[in-house]
Amino acid sequence: MLIAIPDLIDAPGVAAIRAIIDAAEWVDGNATSGHQSALVKRNMQLPEESAAARQAGQMVLDALGRSPLFIAAALPLRIFPPFFNSYAGGQAFGLHVDNAMRMLPGTGMRIRSDLSITVFLEEPDAYDGGELTIETLFGVQQVKLPAGHAVLYPSSSLHRVEPVTRGRRVASFFWVQSMIRDDSARQMLFDLDRSVQGVAADLGQGHPEVVRLTGLYHNLLRRWADA
């Protein structure tokens, strides 16, 4: 399941986040890499423990909480605190798969990475290259979205960031543990949710068929959810 989330963060919100992170000190992106990623990763990253990362990350999380599309598609149980990275001068991130488990900082709790999310924080015409390239069952897809837009995709997928040959690509990236571990089940629930909303728009929220379909959705969620 690969889903674009348009206008997750509005222009003033993007500007506010950029003001915070652009003024901060950046470090080598391999500070948080696993062994495999370190072999192919060349970028800069905001230190995850920095005040700027925490402040800007909370702004991203607040935006996610206001997004019905994100909630419906991800069915989030836990969300890893957002990271921020940048690519310039030919930097890239070669083909890799995200780590299956992440330790939530300061908690001792692990999060299973079911879904990865990238929130673009630079306009696409400001840089060349930098496409997020994802290998899916339906072929290779490249994603390069306007600032404030996001893309959600399975963490199990092979993906890479193409070299940035002009300008600077800035984004936030992080992971989601869904209540629904299985990607195909999550896709079916998302499709059913959208169908329920469409039928409700036509027939009214209280129509018996809408109630029946809503019950089916929640009973499936109850059957499949981890929590």
CATH number of the domain bearing residue 203:
4.10.860
Counting residues of the chain whose pLDDT is more than 90, the rounded percentage is: 88
The top-scoring range by mean pLDDT among 1-5, 28-32, 39-43 is 1-5
- Asked if 187 and 146 sit in the same domain, the reply is no
End-to-end CA distance of the chain: 21
List the domain range (segments joined by +) for residue 46: 3-178
Which pLDDT score, from 0 to 100, does residue 36 have?
A: 59
- Asked if 38 and 132 sit in the same domain, the reply is yes
Counting residues of the chain whose pLDDT is more than 70, the rounded percentage is: 96
Q: What is the rounded distance in angstroms from the CA atom of residue 63 to the CA atom of residue 212?
A: 31
- Asked if 100 and 195 sit in the same domain, the reply is no
- Asked if 86 and 134 sit in the same domain, the reply is yes
Mean pLDDT over residues 25-31, rounded?
86
- Asked if 52 and 152 sit in the same domain, the reply is yes
Which pLDDT score, from 0 to 100, does residue 111 have?
A: 94
- Asked if 24 and 51 sit in the same domain, the reply is yes
Query: Cα-Cα-Cα-Cα dihedral of 87, 91, 93, 99, to 10°?
Result: -60
- Asked if 163 and 187 sit in the same domain, the reply is no
- Asked if 31 and 130 sit in the same domain, the reply is yes
- Asked if 44 and 124 sit in the same domain, the reply is yes
Mean pLDDT over residues 143-165, rounded?
97
Q: Give per-residue pLDDT as tens, 74-112.
A: 999 999 999 999 999 999 999 999 999 998 887 888 999
- Asked if 141 and 219 sit in the same domain, the reply is no
Q: What is the rounded distance in angstroms from the CA atom of residue 169 to the CA atom of residue 121?
A: 8
- Asked if 74 and 124 sit in the same domain, the reply is yes
Q: Tell which wins on pLDDT, 38 or 53.
A: 53
Last residue of a domain, one of 178, 193, 209: 178
Q: Which two tokens stand for residue 127?
A: 């840089």
- Asked if 109 and 216 sit in the same domain, the reply is no
**Could you give the number of structural domains in the chain?**
2
Which pLDDT score, from 0 to 100, does residue 37 have?
A: 60
Which pLDDT score, from 0 to 100, does residue 31 have?
A: 66
What are the E-state strand segments in 122-166? 128-129, 132-136, 139-143, 150-154, 159-161, 164-166
Which pLDDT score, from 0 to 100, does residue 30 have?
A: 77
CATH number at residue 144: 2.60.120.620
Q: Is 23 exposed, middle or buried (0-12, 13-18, 19+ CB in 10 A)?
A: exposed
